[in-house]
Structures are given as structure tokens and as C-alpha cells.
Chain A
């Protein structure tokens, strides 16, 4: 069982370039999330999708867009990358965002460097 799969694992971009991070889960989860992890800042929520067809902003959405392509897939797009977006990005999923357990299942992360 693959769980949550993210691609690519590593990417280097130049300022102003665009790219999409892909995420897929095979656990039939309803809710999916994108977090970024920066030193000293912990994990910060960028966007989430409580269920197929819905997306909501998290704590740090500026400079990003998301698409919930279907129940399995949730992509994160950087339209015009900036050095401040250098980070490790994690995709996660959960059974239901409204279920009172809150347990998330994480991918292995995508390390992005913007020069």
C-alpha cells in the first residue's frame, strides 16, 4: 500500500518559473492538505481540501494555487516562484476533516529550491 505519494521529490527553479507539485493517495481518504516546513517555523498549512470539489485557504496561501483533481489527487501550483518559497512541501490526507480524530497521513515531502 503506497499511502501518500508526492512528486517530484526534489526540484530547483529559477525565480519566476512555474511548477506543479503532484500528490496522490490510495487510502480512499476524503480530505487532503498541503503544508510547508521551514526551519524554526514548524509546519504551516497552505491549502486544504475537506472533500472532493472543495478547497480552502490555510495559514500561508499567497503565491500558491491548488486543484483537487479527483478524490485521489491534490496538486499544488506555484505560478511565479520566489526565493521565499524555498521549502520542503508535504502533502497529507485524512479520512474526513470533520471527523474528530484528526489523524493525518503524510507523504515523504518535496524539497523545492528557488534561486
Chain B
């Protein structure tokens, strides 16, 4: 079945550091890929998405590129801020079942 694997956390970075959170997937067909973010005490919200190979999703300085050849959708940000501290979830949708989520990666950014 469909699955998402993302790097284990927690990840702790200093402000202005470069962020990469790895995400790889297994799916039939050509899924859509997503990154969701969960701020403390809140529900998840969509951060960015890509619906076909080579698409780049971007939002709030975060980017991720849909790489079909490596089945990956790594999240990157050039300079993190304390306000980026949250849990990040990679997810896929292949049209057969509801959204499948990875286990989440907790990011802590310290000033």
C-alpha cells in the first residue's frame, strides 16, 4: 500500500540555519504530495503541495520539489526562524484512499 517515510526528529536548529526534512514515498500511480505543518496546540494546515513530477511547491519561504526518479519530496528552507518551530508532516494522495501521512518531524528553532 501507499506509505510515506520521513526523517526522525526532533530537529533542533539555530535561527537562520538551513533546514532540510527528508521525505520519501511509496505509491501506485502518480500521487500528489503535500507538506502539512502543525503549530503547538493547533490542527494541521497545508504548507505546500505538488501534483506532478518536477513540480515545486513553495510557501512562506519553504520549498519542496516532486522527484519521481527518487520518489522524494524533501522540505527545505534557507533561513529558519523561531516561529517555524512546529511539527511537519509529509503526505501523499494517490486517489485510492484518503491522505496518507508520515509520522511527523518536530522542528525546534532556537534564537
Contact = CB atoms under 8 A, between A and B. Distances in A.
Interface of A: 4, 31, 33, 35, 40-43, 45, 48, 58, 90, 92, 97-98, 100-104, 106-109
Given A41-B103, A42-B104, A43-B89, A100 B45 contact: no
Interface of B: 32, 34, 36, 41-46, 49, 51, 89, 91-93, 95, 98-99, 101-104
Contacts, number: 57
- The secondary structure that dominates the B interface is strand
A90 B46 CA distance: 15
The 3 closest A-B pairs by CB, nearest first: A102-B93, A106-B43, A42-B103
A35 B49 CA distance: 20
B95 A98 contact: yes
Contacts of B32: 100-102
Contacts of A43: 44, 89, 101, 104
A101 B103 contact: no
A6 B42 CA distance: 12
